[in-house]
Structure 1
């Protein structure tokens, strides 16, 4: 009885494990699917932003930037989808091999079981069993024969249960295989559509670049002008942070020199800074919806490759009237005005600072305490081209850091 119960439990565990294994995607497959969905959402956001700004007369520079970004995301989508399809191919092959193995095992089990049933049938009569027992030479031999008869009967039942288990496992893997084949076909179909869209975008890109190449110097001047304005704002923010560091050292009584680089923190500042660091990689986006058009670091211009762009933060394209949100609890350290551009907000989080530039409206003032996701302003929308672009930076004291390391899924 105990043996039968143990076998049934083992059978149920094996069946559950098999079902879970067959119907759940592998960890790698799940990661690829999440990434694919992110890229699809990103393309939808790009299309949404481009559609909303369609009525605006965009410059060639803006158009090529938008298209460059869209092509890049589309290529990534095709790449990830191909990876998914290839992984599914390997999983399908594994399952097909597993099915072949199971069918062989099942055939062997059934063959052995049928032979055992025939043998059992030939000697199944009560008279045969009684004669088998009575022919024992002593009591001990008779006891062993009784035990053998019972074990043989139990073994028959186990073989029957084993056939049921293998049959169930085969059905589960067959079902999983059919789903995998359908998923693969869906991915192939989606990739064909994506490839057609990419070819259209590349043709548009070729046409735009041909127009730009006719007057490269004109566009190079525009790019350099943008870079100069961004660098000016970066220098101003850096200057203000260095002043804040010097001021904090003076207040704390710390000997301050021109080389002082660390903000002198109060116990409350240290708690806030530690909390900020703990949230690294989990901070919310500074706008509810947006796509990163320019990433952190030194990089060649996507239009004029010979021009290098230094980005101390990220530039996020968003929708008109988009609200700017504080990414963490802190204090508004400064509202930074600009003669040629739009204002910025600098928020301090202990010895960390976050900067939000190119704002059209400001909702806070210097000294205000802000909380995570609190609206602090509105992104400026350029009336000439309809672009709504937020520049966002993260500083550790006066040193810039990559915002993508701090913001969730940037």
Structure 2
């Protein structure tokens, strides 16, 4: 019975330790599935583009993004496989000890059964009792015989428990080995895909080098236009702050011209917005982030730095931008190309949805979380559908990736 308790306690402690260790493994598994999903989304978005003419810069950017995602996936797979290897090795050692314990138990039990068989006749038992010198000795011998039978039964149960533990470990080990084999197959497949992507990458780099001066000039013009639009949005926000604050009576002495003076209702909305940091929904469903926030080297042309004012989301044609939180439409900006940028105010926070083909809201409208703002523009030449999402606190740009939900 003591041995039985020991095995149960040991097994429980072992499983708890594995559970604690598996938290990291679980995180890696979630990360692996995330990268796999993003690669599938990117492949789907790229293959669905109906390009009328090739743009080597766009294509190279897509290939670079895929290679980067595949490398991250491989790194995650390797880390996950390493943890599995450690677990498998530990379980193999434990299984060996368990099998040895089970073998010892069976041998002891077999020996006891054999001895019992040799002296199990009714006559032997009767003579054992009748040969007692007194009644008390006969009683003790009877009790001993009962305890012996009970011990045999318990030992048999102990063997069953031990056998069950061994089977559980074997099944778990087989399962983990299969998972590891699958991971290694996935890793090899991703490496093959990277090799194919790198061949395409080299071809595109060759094309770009032939016309590098043209691509560089077009890119610089594009960056210049982005800055003009960003400056106009900054101006729109400053004007909106000045107009809103002008209407406020008894302005605080410390009030800044670059900050909204908030009503109690607006303060409550801003506080609620802040409480949802890192939990806000994405501004467009079924999408991937193709450009991050902040100053960064251009992904395809060397020597050019871009300042990304927000996040770029690649999505499907006919997709709609959605409000990330309750608010009021602060303004709608019309670009020179006829596209729309919608600004929504959430207290002293402002979310901006750029590159819309149509707008479903107008200035002053109240909007709810998840409400459609407008249809995202699809470039008929490249086939790309991209939403540019920018986030402000008053006039200060924020990193949207720190505010939206980590998928």
- Is structure 2 residue 151 aligned with structure 1 residue 155? yes
Query: Is 1:236 the counterpart of 2:232 in the alignment?
Result: yes
For residues 45-56 of structure 1, what are the structure 2 equivalents within 5 Å? Answer: 45-56=41-52
Deviation at 1:257, TM superposition (A): 7.2
2:325 match: secondary structure: coil
Which whole-Å deviations, capped at 9, do the CAs of 1:226-272 have from their partners, x for residues lacking one? 22222222233233333334444441532467944442222222222
1:218 partner SS: helix
Distance 2:2 2:346 in 1: 60
Contact 1:297 1:313 in 2 (8 A): yes
Please give the per-residue CA displacement for 1:112-159, whole angstroms capped at 9, x wherever unaligned. 222222333344445555565666677776665555444333332222
**Does the 8 A contact of 2:50 with 2:382 survive in 1?**
no
- Offset from partner CA, 1:265-305 (integer Å, 9 cap, x none): 22222222222222222222111121111001221111123
Aligned pair partner of 2:83 in 50, 65, 87: 87
Partner of 2:306: 309
The question of 1:289 aligning with 2:286 is answered yes
Alignment partners' CA distance in 2, 1:387 and 1:405: 25
> Where does residue 354 of structure 1 map in the other structure?
351
Can you list the C-alpha shifts for 1:2-45, whole angstroms capped at 9, x where unaligned? xxx99999999998999999999933333223222222222222
Distance 1:398 1:151 in 2: 85
| Pair 1:398 & 2:366 matched | no
| Structure 1 residue 66 displacement after superposition | 1.3
Tell me what 1:177 maps to: 173
For residue 200 of structure 2, the aligned residue among 192, 197, 204 is 204
Report how far residue 326 of structure 1 moved.
Answer: 0.7
Query: Where in structure 2 are the equivalents of 1:338-353 lying within 5 Å?
Result: 338-340=335-337, 342-353=339-350
Which residue of the partner structure matches residue 298 of structure 1? 295
3-state SS, counterpart of residue 355 of structure 1: strand
- Give the 3-state SS of the residue equivalent to 1:151 in structure 2: helix
Task: Confirm or deny: 8 A CA contact 1:15 1:168 kept in the other structure.
Answer: no
Change (3 A) 1:310 1:138: farther
Gap change, CA 1:206 and 1:124, over 3 Å in 2: same
Structure 1 residues 398 and 252, CA gap change in structure 2 (3 angstroms): farther
TM-score by length of 1: 0.87
Partner in structure 1 of residue 378 of structure 2:
381
Q: In the alignment, does 2:272 pair up with 1:275?
A: yes
CA offset at residue 222 of structure 1? 2.5
Task: Structure 1: state its 5+ residue gaps.
Answer: none
Structure 1 residues 146, 239: CA separation in 2 closer, same or farther (over 3 Å shift)? farther
Give 1:403 deviation, angstroms: 1.5
Alpha-carbon distance in 2 for matches of 1:156, 1:342: 86
Trace 1:126-145 onto structure 2 (pairs within 5 A). 128-129=124-125
Give the Cα separation in 2 of the matches to 1:280 and 1:300. Answer: 28
Q: Distance in 2 between matches of 1:308 and 1:297?
A: 10
Which residue of 1 is the match for residue 104 of structure 2? 108
